[in-house]
Structure 1
Amino acid sequence: MSRKKRRSKSKKGRWWKVLLVISGAIVLTAGAFALLVLNDVRSTVNNKLHEDIDSIDAAAAKEKVKNEEPVNILLLGVDERENDKGRSDTMIVMTLDPNREQMQLVSIPRDTEAEIMGDGRITRINHAYAYGGSDMAVNTVENFLNIEIDYFTKVNMEGLSQLVDSVGGITVYNELAFTQDGYHFPEGQTTLSGSQALSYVRMRKEDPQGDLGRNSRQRQVIEGVIEKGASLNMINQVGDVMEVLGNNVSTNMDFEDMRKLATKYSNARKSTTTYQMSGSSKTSSGMYLIEMSEEEINKTSEMINNFGSNQTAP
């Protein structure tokens, strides 16, 4: 599949407290407008979090936000270790539609077979980050799904524990009882601390669905932090949150991007839909891969490109 040319994007949580991210994922929370304009928040966002990449047309993305059009945000959860850049074990395309007040999360399994744009190798899609950072990861996902990414957010999964703790823990509904890293996660509603959340999203060996089950838990954690953050008065917590973000997150959003998303897209979390791409297993040169059919790729591409455009407004 050839990469489409980037064209004008004129076509095509409340998040006031601060833009949080995980990925497992991104975390968007709500709060008072005054919180966003605090100097320390602005400084952290622009000086520590912000990272421009060539594969995203920043001016076109800003125009879409100005016109309140749906935007696509690639969420990268990277398991970085000492002396190892890591791979993006979590890749989620989040689409926000402010007009119909809805959000869509599409998960791409890390073992998905894809051409790595700018490198040429056909291998696991999560290798794109290892080979060329966030820029190559965005480029590869855009080519694979024939979509345009407007923003990316990368979080080091080692920072997930701190991030969950910074909002006071989260609650999820666990569909499979299991034990991981010494923690037991019973079936049903359960409250997670930061370290528990990290173990919760990392488990896959005991899950009969493998990566599919793990990706589902990652989406649960994303939604859990969104909801928890939206219910809190974070005035006293913003310092802790910003420290966690500054140490573990990078994004091409600057402070003004976040402020405008907060004001124009604040209700997109009211209705959330999720989708997990699925394909067939194969082995190539001893490497396990998930091969996506053209039908699955085209279906997912249409879901993202047409999100909101062909639905009846509420």
Structure 2
Amino acid sequence: MREKKKKRKWLRIAGIFFMLLIIGIGAYAFSVYKSLTNAVETMHQPIQHKSDKRPEQVTLTKKEPFSVLMLGVDERSGDKGRSDTMIVLTVNPKESSVKMLSIPRDTRTEIIGKGFEDKINHAYAFGNEEMSMATVENFLDIPLDYYVKVNMEGFKDIVDAVGGINVNSSIDFKQDGYNFVKGNNSLNGKEALAYVRMRKQDPNGDFGRQDRQRQIIQGVIKKGASVSSLTNFDDIFGALGKNVRTNLTFNEMKDIQKNYRDAGSNIEQMSLKGSGQTINKVWYLIVAQEEQQRVQNELKAHLELN
């Protein structure tokens, strides 16, 4: 009889413990969800942009390929800044792949809405996200469905929120008082910002800088998606809310996570080549028509555009 009572007692204790665990997990999940929705609400910034290169808006629930323009903007006090980082992502769920094209900031092209040619990164200074999207669309001859703008000054907060990142440098160099070695480097937020800003010491110039930009972005995504970052979710979402703006809605983000997540494991980096030329005492990167056409064709095929 006593043994039966002891069994019932331990069963009751185990049951209570299990219920408390479930309640705790539920409260934690709710806290994560609430923090995420608050961050997304802050990040959401709709814009007036309708592409004439796509007749109908892309439907994520139908798993259609889509594109994103990522803008890294140095926004400092009293200065709206320029988009020193411009990366186009095309996502194809059928191929389970992402193509990632960095556009050199000095690329000479027509600034749509201004009617003259200039460095492509000046489009943001002239007309914010809308003019940047229109200019890049014209240059690549593809529709851009979404944009994601990151304040590079505050990007260090995002890196710190995920607990720092690891990158693999191709050269030794110094920048902003920090030393970076060839090979693996563990970076905090300020170090990551210095790492991505260096350009003049790199024998590959802006192309080397583009590679470092990609490393930082991929490092944040990889670290942010890890289980160890769950304990920092509040800091991560807070940093994103302060420093990221996008026209993606919360429901669209959920659709992407649900229907396109396999594509994220297969990222192919593309490059855009050109030659330097000084025009009216200003240095530009001139992209030959054949090279421009090559990149356009590859992106159009990935977006399944005829």
Work out whether the TM-score is over 0.5. Answer: yes
- Higher normalized contact order (CA 8 Å, seq sep 6+, divided by chain length): 1
2:261 is equivalent to residue 266 of structure 1: yes
2:175 is equivalent to residue 175 of structure 1: no
Q: For structure 2, list consecutive stretches of 5 or more residues without a partner in the other structure.
A: 1-28
SS of residue paired to 2:154: helix
Q: Where does residue 55 of structure 1 map in the other structure?
A: 49
Assess, with a 3 A threshold, how the Cα gap between structure 1 residues 256 and 137 changes in structure 2: closer, same or farther: same
Task: Report if aligned partners of 1:145, 1:301 keep a CA contact under 8 Å in 2.
Answer: yes
Q: Where does residue 240 of structure 2 map in the other structure?
A: 245
Assess, with a 3 A threshold, how the Cα gap between structure 1 residues 154 and 197 changes in structure 2: closer, same or farther: same
CA deviations on 1:148-197 (whole Å, 9 max, x unpaired) are 11110001100111111111111111111111111111111221111111
CA deviations on 1:30-74 (whole Å, 9 max, x unpaired) are xxxx5798233223312x2111222246994451x1111221110
Q: Where does residue 72 of structure 1 map in the other structure?
A: 67
Task: Report if aligned partners of 2:32, 2:233 keep a CA contact under 8 Å in 1.
Answer: no
Q: Which amino acid in structure 1 is aligned with residue 38 of structure 2?
A: S
Q: 2:192 aligns with which of 197, 213, 220?
A: 197
- Listed as ranges, the matches of 1:163-242 within 5 Å are 163-242=158-237
Matches of 1:154 and 1:59 in 2, distance apart? 25
Matches of 1:236 and 1:97 in 2, distance apart? 32
Matches of 1:278 and 1:52 in 2, distance apart? 32
Q: What is the CA-CA distance between 1:99 and the residue it aligns to? A: 2.3
- Listed as ranges, the matches of 1:1-314 within 5 Å are 38-46=33-41, 48-56=42-50, 60-63=56-59, 65-307=60-302, 309=304
Assess, with a 3 A threshold, how the Cα gap between structure 1 residues 149 and 35 changes in structure 2: closer, same or farther: farther
Q: Where does residue 22 of structure 1 map in the other structure?
A: none
Aligned length: 276
Assess, with a 3 A threshold, how the Cα gap between structure 1 residues 278 and 81 changes in structure 2: closer, same or farther: same
Assess, with a 3 A threshold, how the Cα gap between structure 1 residues 131 and 103 changes in structure 2: closer, same or farther: same
Matches of 2:55 and 2:257 in 1, distance apart? 18
Root-mean-square deviation over aligned CA pairs: 2.1
SS of residue paired to 1:158: coil
CA deviations on 1:219-270 (whole Å, 9 max, x unpaired) are 1111111211222344332221122112111100011111111111111121
Q: What is the CA-CA distance between 1:284 and the residue it aligns to? A: 1.5
Matches of 1:36 and 1:131 in 2, distance apart? 40
Q: Which amino acid in structure 2 is aligned with residue 276 of structure 1?
A: S
Matches of 1:231 and 1:152 in 2, distance apart? 25
Matches of 2:83 and 2:243 in 1, distance apart? 14
Q: List, as ranges, runs of 4+ consecutive aligned residues in structure 1 with deviation greater than 4 Å.
A: 34-37, 57-62
Matches of 1:153 and 1:59 in 2, distance apart? 22
Q: Which structure has the highest helix share of the two?
A: 2
Instruction: Say which is worse superposed, 86-95 or 299-308, in terms of deviation.
Output: 299-308
Matches of 1:83 and 1:259 in 2, distance apart? 36
Matches of 2:107 and 2:30 in 1, distance apart? 40
Task: Report if aligned partners of 2:169, 2:184 keep a CA contact under 8 Å in 1.
Answer: yes
Task: Report if aligned partners of 1:78, 1:89 keep a CA contact under 8 Å in 2.
Answer: yes
Q: What is the CA-CA distance between 1:285 and the residue it aligns to? A: 1.6
Matches of 1:304 and 1:272 in 2, distance apart? 13
Task: Report if aligned partners of 1:62, 1:257 keep a CA contact under 8 Å in 2.
Answer: no
Q: Where does residue 27 of structure 1 map in the other structure?
A: none
Q: Which amino acid in structure 2 is aligned with residue 53 of structure 1?
A: I
Assess, with a 3 A threshold, how the Cα gap between structure 1 residues 35 and 269 changes in structure 2: closer, same or farther: farther
Q: Which amino acid in structure 2 is aligned with residue 277 of structure 1?
A: L
Q: Which amino acid in structure 2 is aligned with residue 253 of structure 1?
A: L
Q: Where does residue 29 of structure 1 map in the other structure?
A: none
Q: What is the CA-CA distance between 1:138 and the residue it aligns to? A: 0.3
TM-score between both structures, scaled by the size of structure 2: 0.85
Sequence identity (%)? 43
- Rg larger for: 2
Q: Which amino acid in structure 2 is aligned with residue 190 of structure 1?
A: N
